[in-house]
Amino acid sequence: MKQLAMLFLAGFAASAAAAPSINVVPPDGARFLQQQRFDLRVEGQGTGPYSASLSIDGVPQAFTSGKQNTSATDGISDVAKGWGGFNVRGYASGEPGWHTISADFADATGTAHVSSRFQIVDAFGRDDNGGRRAKNVIIMLGDGMGVAHRTAARLVKYGVTGGQPDGWLNMDRFPGTGLVSTHSLNSIVTDSAPGMACYATGNHSNNGQEGVYPAHVTNAFYAPRVEYMAEYLHRVKGASLGLVTTADVEDATPAANAVHTANRNEGTGICDQYLDESDAEGSGAYGTGLSVLMGGGRRWFLPSGTFGSSRSAGTDYEALPADLLTGWSLPASAAGAKDPGRNLLADFQARGFSYADSKTSLDGLVAGGAPQKLLGLFGYGNMNVALDKISARRGVSSAVVDAYHAPDQPMLDEMTDAALKVLSRNRSGFVLMIEGAHIDKQSHLMDADRAVGETIEFDNAVGVAKRWADRLGDTVIVVLADHECSGFSLIGALAGGLANLKATPPDNTKFDPSSTPARQGKVGTYDAAGFPRYQINKSDGYPESMDIDGKLLFGFGADGDRFEGWLSKPLPIIDSLLPSVIKSELAAKGYSGSPAGRAEKDFGFFVRGQVPGDQAVHTASDIPVSAYSTGSQAWRSFTGVQTNTDVFFKLMRAALGSDADVD
Ligand SMILES: [Zn+2]
């Protein structure tokens, strides 16, 4: 009855006596570049056997999979829950303007109809910015970085005198600054998977998903795909892709440039797909052109059973459907297999990647001529944050990096320089994504000092990218975030309804508002804050200490429960993205798994967060974008307020210009 009522509401009354439910993707309002590939899918839930039809602008389309009048349909739909599906893989259109999809799905009880519209965007018209096409695209992604993170990094690094900043960050100096809305396909508050994928595809995804549309299929890697910027530019002009992150390389932000999956956590399959769809032989016929992959995440490259391996069959993917391979011009070698015992490290090396496992070996690889392809895995899971790496380099303490089994890690700016040495060898250009991952991760953990240190490290990488853009010419750089994390902003929406909220018993007996915790009284507000002045180490550029007289204090508007002591925290919280063996070791060494269990519980005051649990969350706030370009005025197009998917079209327009050969 519930389903029936919904169908009436949706306007299907005429045929809804007992019709199945129906979905079609791409979702209504999707935008694509001319010739950008995407999959169409109509699926329904009901009682088999099923049949379906789909037309575009009235022209019937032949499904590439889905047997009519069967219950099994395409063989990949969630039959156990009554789903059937029909697909058109690898569709593309060259005709700018709006197009209409019309689809029917019939089961044993009736027929449901759905229609949606998509737009093809002209990528090849002369843009208004003048100058030449951008050969190279660099996306600097400060994960979770809002306006406040940028301000904090600037204040710590440069200070303020008489109301005037004593210096500006590299990203502050970029000429084209605007705002970007960050919503995903299914929520105002995005996670990092759609947060990055929208810049790389021009399309919104559901939370947790990257490079795909939602679908009821039996494997996350079977979901309907949309083509990435790197795939498009590799296919039409032979561009290379570089991915550099301080996170585990399986993490959502790097993967959302190259891997198509409806589950961002399936690290085995994600890292396999990096290589299998990289077009390592350089055919230009398919894939991403991945030539640089750097970060943490060695655990996915080691066969299961060896120390630090996280590979498992449960996080891998089975052979991709035949029509997916055909529609995306993928060779049989890219089909995928459940192979937790795979030595992915050896496979990368066999296909031409030089491998670095430390800063020392990275320096050795790029000294006097960079390799053709570069794989750098500097930790088993997430890399360590800037302040812990710097502490080791200064000889203050290497306890944290040693405990992570990663004693010799490069800084993000050093990785950026190495990546550009490799990528600049390709005269056809490149797409490079650089992620400062721990701005987000440390904000979740409400460790302000580490988040600020990470923002300084990220800005150093921005400076390196800018110098390369000046040297190479014809390069566009955008500095942005996928979303804000933890900040002074809207933290979500009421769950469970208003009546449920009103019926909830009071929760007012645990605190006494008339008492002020001693450390809360230490917060200087307004003029009591003054102008904090950090001592910056002359050789490495980071603060000598985050604990100075009058240090900056931070609040978290989207916070979880924690104890706050205002002192910098000697140990980081155990990263979630680490092999379990290292997590256990860290726990045994006294590292806490959660902010509420940090040492401050012995001296700080308890802060009851506004969201459940003990981690801060992403917010729906707009994020700042700053753009720079050489050889063109492409930076101009990023000023003003824009939606996240706009960024893709602006970058692609800058890259393809008026006379790109794309036929
Ligand atoms: Zn996050």
Quote the ligand 1 centre to 412 CA distance (angstroms).
19
Q: 449 or 497: whose pLDDT is higher?
A: 449
State the pLDDT confidence band at 430, using cuts at 50, 70 and 90: very high
Q: What angle do CA 33, 38, 42 make, to 5 degrees?
A: 135
Phi, psi at 636, each rounded to 5°: -60, -30
Q: What angle do CA 612, 446, 460 make, to 5 degrees?
A: 140
Quote the ligand 1 centre to 390 CA distance (angstroms).
23
Half-sphere exposure of 265 (CA within 13 A, CB side): 7
pLDDT of residue 493: 52
Euclidean distance between CA atoms 276 and 304, whole angstroms: 19
pLDDT of residue 550: 87
DSSP state of 216: -
Quote the ligand 1 centre to 264 CA distance (angstroms).
13
Length of the chain: 663
Q: Find out whether the peptide bond into 26 is cis, omega within 30 degrees of 0.
A: yes
DSSP state of 612: S
Quote the ligand 1 centre to 657 CA distance (angstroms).
34
Quote the ligand 1 centre to 145 CA distance (angstroms).
10
* Token pair belonging to 462: 């921005």
Quote the ligand 1 centre to 192 CA distance (angstroms).
6
Euclidean distance between CA atoms 80 and 14, whole angstroms: 28
Report the pLDDT averaged over residues 642-653: 96
Quote the ligand 1 centre to 248 CA distance (angstroms).
13
pTM of the model: 0.94
SS3 48: coil
Euclidean distance between CA atoms 329 and 663, whole angstroms: 16
Quote the ligand 1 centre to 455 CA distance (angstroms).
15
Quote the ligand 1 centre to 254 CA distance (angstroms).
13
Residues 111-122: tens digit of each pLDDT: 999 999 999 998
SS3 322: helix
Task: Please give the helix or strand (H or E) that residue 412 lies within, else none.
Answer: helix 412-423
pLDDT of residue 522: 86
Q: Which amino acid is at 577?
A: L
Residues 166-183: tens digit of each pLDDT: 999 999 999 999 999 999
Quote the ligand 1 centre to 308 CA distance (angstroms).
24
**Nearest in space to 107 (alpha carbons), one of 81, 70, 77, 78:** 70
Quote the ligand 1 centre to 245 CA distance (angstroms).
14
pLDDT of residue 246: 98
Quote the ligand 1 centre to 658 CA distance (angstroms).
38
Whether residue 265 contacts residue 306, with contact meaning beta carbons closer than 8 Å, is answered with no
Neighbours of ion ligand 1 (CB under 5 A): 440
Quote the ligand 1 centre to 623 CA distance (angstroms).
14
Quote the ligand 1 centre to 395 CA distance (angstroms).
31
Quote the ligand 1 centre to 340 CA distance (angstroms).
27
Half-sphere exposure of 466 (CA within 13 A, CB side): 19
Residues in contact with 167: Cβ distance below 8 Å, sequence separation at least 6, in sequence order? 154, 157, 158, 159
Quote the ligand 1 centre to 298 CA distance (angstroms).
21
Quote the ligand 1 centre to 334 CA distance (angstroms).
30
Quote the ligand 1 centre to 399 CA distance (angstroms).
26
Average pLDDT of the chain is 92
Euclidean distance between CA atoms 264 and 250, whole angstroms: 8
In percent, the amount of the chain with pLDDT more than 70 equals 93
Report the pLDDT averaged over residues 138-153: 97
**Nearest in space to 139 (alpha carbons), one of 607, 485, 469, 421:** 469
Quote the ligand 1 centre to 441 CA distance (angstroms).
6
* Token pair belonging to 287: 């894939």
Quote the ligand 1 centre to 326 CA distance (angstroms).
35
Quote the ligand 1 centre to 224 CA distance (angstroms).
25
